[in-house]
Amino acid sequence: MRRRVVVTGIGMVNPLGHDVQTVWSALRESKSGVGQISIFDPTGYPTTIAAEVKDWCISKAGEDAAVWKNRGRHTRFAIGAAKQAMAQSGLLDSGMAPTRIGVYMGAGEGNQDFPNFTNMMAAGVQHGPFDLSAFLRRGRQVLNVEAAGGAGMTGTDDIAGLEGPNSNCLTACAASSQAVGEATELIRCGDADAMIAGGAHSMIHPFGLTGFSLLTTLSQRNDDPAKASRPFDKDRDGFVLGEGAAIVILEEYEHARKRGAAILGEVLGYGSTADAYRITDIHPEGRGAIGCMRNAIADAKLNLDEIGYVNAHGTSTSVNDRTETLACKGVFGDRARLTPVSSTKSMMGHLIAAAGVTEMIVCMMAIRDGVLPPTINQETADPDCDLDYVANVARPAKIKVALNNSFGFGGQNVTLAVGALRNG
């Protein structure tokens, strides 16, 4: 019999708050965390807005700020989220051997100094996307070292001395969802009894803003930041960069039950695919998106009518939102318009590598409280996006299972199915 995987701890730091309950309350109240960029001077860039984490220091997590000052913002966020999740789970006091607890993190580049790019936008961009791709290839080792040595080490040597499987994935916007899925598989197959899994990222720096500006994927609604992220709305003009971290403690069910842990939910299914299409474009028919959703549903042994909610990837770009809508129809068929879908990126921006696990936690809160978070800024209907997007205000709904979609840059797709604890 396959080992079951449950969640016993959650933590997050993001633009809407510094802990899960604060973020969840803001989502239920349709609050936006988007504003003018203050981390650096964005003058001269076509986009000057983002969803920043405000008024947070790692000292709030009980750590010495001086010790961590030279680590990236995303690493500090990850430490904060991890300590919240570990404290809630009580896992480190359970007597489980350190060799049976591992870490799997999804991450990306942090605040490196890219001098060739710092003032590019202000001076007027002369480089094309292939120049950017070449630079990324040359810098890949730098990015991998930062991710693995920073966020990917969260909860191990620096914090808890864990000795189980330790891994890191850099699959763009799908990274943290993939980390949760792969960590789940490690527990299922017996290689670990518990895993600290999640993601951390901050691309609100000159290089990040330059790259996405070159790709023309960011909203330029600079005069009205709170209205900038508008997934599935006809007048959407791009996504909004966010930042933060989210961590979950995954544990084998029997161990969690025997130690009397509070079980917050269960990871029911995991699906992963690749578009095998283009570096920068999602497959126009949603081939990969459909595949990973179907894989997660099959892995969880679910019927379509058991799925009460889909937290969409929902970036607020024209192509993504249209294609994800198409993919939902491909999976749900006649039930597509009966299944609520919403994008919480409308409020917190796109947390890139941290987005997936953040939204997984949102799904768990929706199941716990019987409330679906809204997609705000739904003002003008798009005929290509015609599902139930829970427009503008949260909605009461008793659900037991939710899907969380994460579709990464480069055609990397992950869907997680999460639910209330099943009987038997």
Which residues are part of the catalytic machinery? 173, 313, 350
The tokens of 319 are what? 């192509």
* Element spanning 367, H or E: helix 355-369
Burial degree of 369 (CB within 10 A; 0-12, 13-18, 19+): middle
CB crowding 146-167: b at 16 or more within 10 Å, else e: bbbebbbbbbbebbbebebbbb
Nearest to 25 by CA among 35, 14, 36: 14
Nearest to 44 by CA among 122, 125, 124, 126: 122
φ/ψ bin of 118: left (φ > 0), alpha (ψ from -120 to 50), beta (otherwise): alpha
List, in sequence order, every residue forming a beta bridge with 5; answer none if it has no partner. Answer: 252, 267
The tokens of 16 are what? 């809407």
Nearest to 376 by CA among 187, 208, 207, 236: 236
Contact 79, 67 (CB under 8 A): no
φ/ψ bin of 173: left (φ > 0), alpha (ψ from -120 to 50), beta (otherwise): alpha
CB atoms near residue 270 (< 10 Å): 24
The tokens of 204 are what? 């609100």
As a whole number of angstroms, the distance between CA 272 and CA 182 comes to 10
The CA dihedral of 279, 211, 218, 278, to the nearest 10 degrees, is -10
Query: If you ran DSSP here, which 8-state letter would residue 301 be given?
Result: T
Q: Cα angle vertex 234, ends 324, 332, to 5°?
A: 25
As a whole number of angstroms, the distance between CA 78 and CA 85 comes to 11
Nearest to 388 by CA among 319, 347, 328: 328
Q: Residue 232 is which amino acid?
A: F
Nearest to 129 by CA among 281, 258, 233: 281
β-bridge pairing 194-202 and 101-107: parallel
